[in-house]
Chains A and B, each alone.
Chain A
Amino acid sequence: MSEITGYQPVAMVWGGVLCWLALALLAIPLRAHKRWLLAGFPLAALTGLWVAAVGVAGLLLPASAQIVPVGFPGLPVHLRLDALSGFFLLLLGMGAFGVSVYARGYFQHMEIGELARLAIWYPAFLAAMTLVLLANDAYAFMVAWELMALSSYFLVTSDYRVEEIRKAGFLYLLMAHIGAVALLLCFGVLQGNGHTGDAAFTFSAMRHGVLTPTQASLAFLFALIGFGAKAGLVPLHVWLPEAHPAAPSPVSALMSGVMLKMALYGLLRVGFDLLSVRQEWWGVLVLVLGLMTALYGVIFAAVQSDIKRLLAWSSIENIGLIFTGLGLAIIFSVEGKSGLAALALTAVLYHALNHALFKSLLFVGTGSVLHASGTRLMSGLGGLMRKMPWTGWLMLLGVLAIAGLPPLNGFVSEWLLLQAFLFTPGLDLHYLNMMLPVATASVALVIALAAYVMVKFYGVVFLGQPRNPALKHAHEADIWQRMGMLWLASACVLLGLLPSAVIVLISPAVQQVAGRVLTNDGGWLVLAPMDAARASYAPLPFWLATLAVLLLVYGLVRFRYTGRVRRSAAWQCGFPAVTARMQDSAEGFGQPIQHIFSSFMQVDRQYPQPQDRTPHYASVSIDQWWHFLYLPIVAATNWLSQQTARLQHGRIQWYLTYSFITLLVLLVFVQ
């Protein structure tokens, strides 16, 4: 791909980055002025729109690169905008626009100190993610990556007075840094050959580097750990269900919707761009990890009773599906089936974009619920559809989309993913041919379970009767919040109805990664990957036909049968005195899942006492990875530090002895 160096679309992104950075810096002197701080969010939203537009330019125009002489002397920042980063810029911009518009309304009742912290770090976070996408050398990438991690850490802990939030923030920071160390090692393996000096750290040098298969595998594994920790791949997912509920809702939306995709971008960049040769077992590994993550995520999502925690687990599930597709793409590309790799990659990118939209929508929607009701626990919610019709209906769209139901966007990407699996027969590795049907089955199970989770989420929060009398005073979200949600929901609908157009739009990114585009055999109306005789799906006619049949049936029924409708108390099989407490609780709705998948989790149950007049049953499902992986590591670290502490006596003669021994050892080595 040729690189323009004169006129540069990459320079256009600078506008966005500088805008966001300026907003962040301006917020520092203005930190006492609420009105000014709030005005920053619509401006951040507009910048998001600009970045999305530049992303489209990046998809359509040839790649462009730029060297900016900032930073340490002799280490300029290399930037590059190509189709892949263009796609992710589009994703970032679309998500950032909706969430920032929403944030203007959401943050206005916040106390000034917290608002100031948010107003400083929020645009900085957006700028950092943009820089991650543009970085064309390892230095710039790591600096942007760390800025992203730190700014999001400060956003998560903006309400630092709550101990739980501080703990969640610490866990997040810790996992982010384990990932960053792995990434440093990955870039270390990638650079070490061919070039010397600062040029060795540029991505263009890494692209041309020659690696042995072992080195390449090592680099890929480090990248998988590093980006996997950011994406929430099992078993590095533990920070996600802690950090997402702790952060303010717009921040959770950005982290879940957009930041997790930065990890996907990184893995695509390293795996498909910087490493020129891939190996089949990488694909198998990514596929297996992805499936494990998806299944684990969706099962735990089904048993949560905190709405934001449920959504966080559902993000883990979606990331799992995305990585499953990625694994499939790697397998196809190694086997030389570039057309199929393009299909799998299209599914991956499409789902990433979809997830950015519907998960942001759901997270900001829960923010409105939190504002209206003051609780995140499902046991104190219910019936909000009547009090908050706007939020209710827009969230319904998000719920249907994430449950993978036609004609919305989630269905399209899951349909593409399943099609990619159906095309698999005839791989060279025979054990893969045996394994993939089982993988297909697991994907189908995950998709079906996601619908269960979403019915639980929506049904318990928005439908039914209020489980708490205080909900009578719940209020609808304000106009900013509604507009933000409306943007995200309409994007979900559009992406669901016009898949052919979306596929054409993202095809340059697919072309760049897979070396081929996904050919659509069905024209602009019908989505038919590769061959119209194999499979096709046309959401627009589907939707129109549904609408036509619906109106026809409605008209016929209403015209023919004019019987009146009488409102009365609910029948409930004739039982009198049925209260809201008799509805399913979140625990009750999740109980079948807990029962069926009991081997996956450890359940902590609290039974009510027999003489309790308002009995409440609670159950918490504990992530087994804590016991199998994290707590042993914590114990080992503690033990090690205690052993090290034995060296410390506080006596000067011992310390002198240590110095003497060290000196001796060093002398031996120097000799």
Chain B
Amino acid sequence: MSGGVVLQGLQTVLAVLAAPLLTGWTNQCRARLQGRRPPPLWQSYRVLHKLFLKETVLAKEASPLFQATPYVVFSCMVLAAGIVPMLANDLPFSPVADVIALVGIFALARVFLALAAMDVGTAFGTLGARREMLVAFLAEPALLMVFFTVSLISHSTQLPLMVHVLAHRKFAIYPSLAFAGVAFWMVSVAENARIPVDNPTTHLELTMIHEAMILEYSGRYLALIEWSVALKLFVYSALGIALFVPWGIAPVGDEAALPLALLALVAKMAVGGLVLAVLETLNAKMRLFRVPEFLGTAFLLAVLGMLIHFLLES
């Protein structure tokens, strides 16, 4: 148990610290693919450091809710990182929240961010909040459906148990998992504000979603939000790895497997970041009203996965 607590703390801290690295890696890959000279890998850390040191400018109208939101969002992401198995399956904190609660944690962070965006009362803030909630209400059910499909296979909504069952089953093709995996990819693209749903580097007023919400933030508040965005991408990637390619995550009580688990995690994250960069290079951002179609497809795929599970696998 005490080993579990140490592992838990270690893994969470690792996720928090390593998250900007994944963003940096993805940016680097994308720059290479687009024929630009890539920024260094630790560029995201530099940006965070710079933002933390800068003076913070707050709008006159900003209420305490606006100031509290970056902290709330960041804490939510840290908590989410604490319950997703990344290195080891032995997480004493994980019974606190199962996978449905995980969706709830993400939703809590999102609602706070949307409310903060409406707080100052600028045109862009409310626009961003509305679009973000639009994407969210389409993506969240799809995400839940993905988790439900997987939980029907594993008979549990507890992430460590899900990973345990999925990693130790006999190797067989689960068509439902394939559908769920595709749907999960689409949802994570939308939830993390990546191309083709949103563009994290855009500041073109008409198209931005996430960036529009955080326009009024600066200094350390902006740093916290940027860090939580990186952490969110990291947690989503870890989640995808845990559910769809769980091999390598150290089982309970097996400390010897940890170095290998770390290696596997780094390798999988690197591949994931590369694939994300490739897809972002190949695709263009879609019109806002194409987004419901995109996420509707994800939702449909996830529901299909669940139906297929009932038809073929149960």
User: Which of chain B's residues 63-107 have a Cβ closer than 8 Å to chain A?
Assistant: 63, 65, 71-72, 74-76, 78-79, 82, 93, 95-98, 100-101, 104-105, 107
Which single member of A422, A444, A533, A536 contacts B141 (CB below 8 Å)?
A444
Question: Quick one: closest B residue to A589, CB to CB?
Answer: B130
> A441 to B75, alpha carbons, bound, how many Å?
29
Which of A131-139, A179-187, A545-553 has 4 or more CB atoms under 8 Å from chain B? A545-553
Given contacts A533-B156, A563-B53, A570-B216, contact A583 B141 (CB under 8 A): no
Residues of A within 8 A of B126 (CB): 459, 464, 583-584, 588-589
Question: Quick one: closest A residue to B95, CB to CB?
Answer: A536
B25 CB within 8 Å of chain A: no
Question: Quick one: closest A residue to B292, CB to CB?
Answer: A596
User: Which of chain B's residues 87-145 have a Cβ closer than 8 Å to chain A?
Assistant: 93, 95-98, 100-101, 104-105, 107-108, 110-111, 114-115, 118-127, 129-131, 133-134, 136-138, 140-141, 144-145
Which single member of A418, A454, A554, A566 contacts B100 (CB below 8 Å)?
A418
> A564 to B93, alpha carbons, bound, how many Å?
36
Which single member of B114, B119, B161, B307 contacts A464 (CB below 8 Å)?
B119
- Could you tell me the distance in whole angstroms from the C-beta of A400 to the nearest C-beta in chain B? 7
A434 CB within 8 Å of chain B: yes
Which of B27-35, B147-155, B235-243 has 4 or more CB atoms under 8 Å from chain A? B147-155
Given contacts A452-B133, A563-B56, A565-B58, contact A534 B157 (CB under 8 A): yes
> A573 to B204, alpha carbons, bound, how many Å?
10
- Could you tell me the distance in whole angstroms from the C-beta of B150 to the nearest C-beta in chain A? 11
> A545 to B218, alpha carbons, bound, how many Å?
27
Question: Quick one: closest A residue to B118, CB to CB?
Answer: A459
> A449 to B135, alpha carbons, bound, how many Å?
11
Which single member of B72, B129, B133, B303 contacts A437 (CB below 8 Å)?
B303
Given contacts A553-B71, A554-B71, contact A451 B111 (CB under 8 A): yes
B210 CB within 8 Å of chain A: no
User: Which of chain B's residues 269-303 have a Cβ closer than 8 Å to chain A?
Assistant: 289, 292, 299, 302-303
Residues of A within 8 A of B65 (CB): 385, 396, 463
Which single member of A383, A406, A568, A583 contacts B97 (CB below 8 Å)?
A406
> A463 to B118, alpha carbons, bound, how many Å?
6
A510-550 vs B, Cβ < 8 Å mask (1 yes, 0 no): 00000000000010001010001111111001100110011
Question: Once the chains bind, are B215 and A572 in contact (CB under 8 Å)?
Answer: yes
Residues of B within 8 A of A433 (CB): 310
Question: Quick one: closest B residue to A418, CB to CB?
Answer: B100
Question: Once the chains bind, are B57 and A542 in contact (CB under 8 Å)?
Answer: no
Given contacts A451-B137, A584-B130, contact A463 B121 (CB under 8 A): yes
How many residues of A are in contact with the other chain, CB < 8 A? 82
- Could you tell me the distance in whole angstroms from the C-beta of B92 to the nearest C-beta in chain A? 10
B52 CB within 8 Å of chain A: yes
Identify whether the interface residues of B are mostly helix, strand, loop, or mixed: helix
- Could you tell me the distance in whole angstroms from the C-beta of A554 to the nearest C-beta in chain B? 5
Question: Once the chains bind, are B215 and A415 in contact (CB under 8 Å)?
Answer: no
Given contacts A405-B107, A563-B220, A570-B216, contact A464 B120 (CB under 8 A): yes
Question: Once the chains bind, are A451 and B136 in contact (CB under 8 Å)?
Answer: yes
Which single member of B79, B127, B303 contacts A546 (CB below 8 Å)?
B79
What 9 pairs between A and B have smallest CB-CB spacing? A464-B121, A459-B118, A465-B121, A584-B126, A444-B141, A570-B59, A448-B140, A582-B123, A437-B306
A-side interface residues toward B, CB under 8 Å?
382-383, 385-386, 396, 400, 403-406, 411, 415, 418-419, 421-422, 425-426, 433-434, 437-438, 440-441, 444-445, 447-449, 451-452, 454-456, 458-460, 463-465, 522, 526, 528, 532-538, 541-542, 545-546, 549-550, 553-554, 557, 560-561, 563-573, 578, 580, 582-584, 588-589, 592, 595-596
B-side interface residues toward A, CB under 8 Å?
52-61, 63, 65, 71-72, 74-76, 78-79, 82, 93, 95-98, 100-101, 104-105, 107-108, 110-111, 114-115, 118-127, 129-131, 133-134, 136-138, 140-141, 144-145, 148, 151-152, 155-158, 161, 205, 215-216, 218-220, 224, 289, 292, 299, 302-303, 306-307, 310-311, 314
Q: What 8 new A-B contacts, CB under 8 Å, besides A396-B65, A448-B136, A536-B95?
A: A385-B119, A440-B144, A463-B118, A534-B158, A569-B60, A570-B216, A589-B130, A592-B130
- List 25 A–B pairs whose Cβ atoms lie within 8 Å, in order of A's numbering: A406-B105, A422-B148, A440-B144, A440-B148, A441-B302, A455-B115, A458-B115, A460-B118, A463-B65, A464-B121, A533-B161, A537-B97, A537-B100, A538-B95, A541-B93, A549-B74, A550-B75, A563-B220, A565-B57, A567-B58, A568-B57, A570-B59, A573-B205, A580-B121, A582-B123
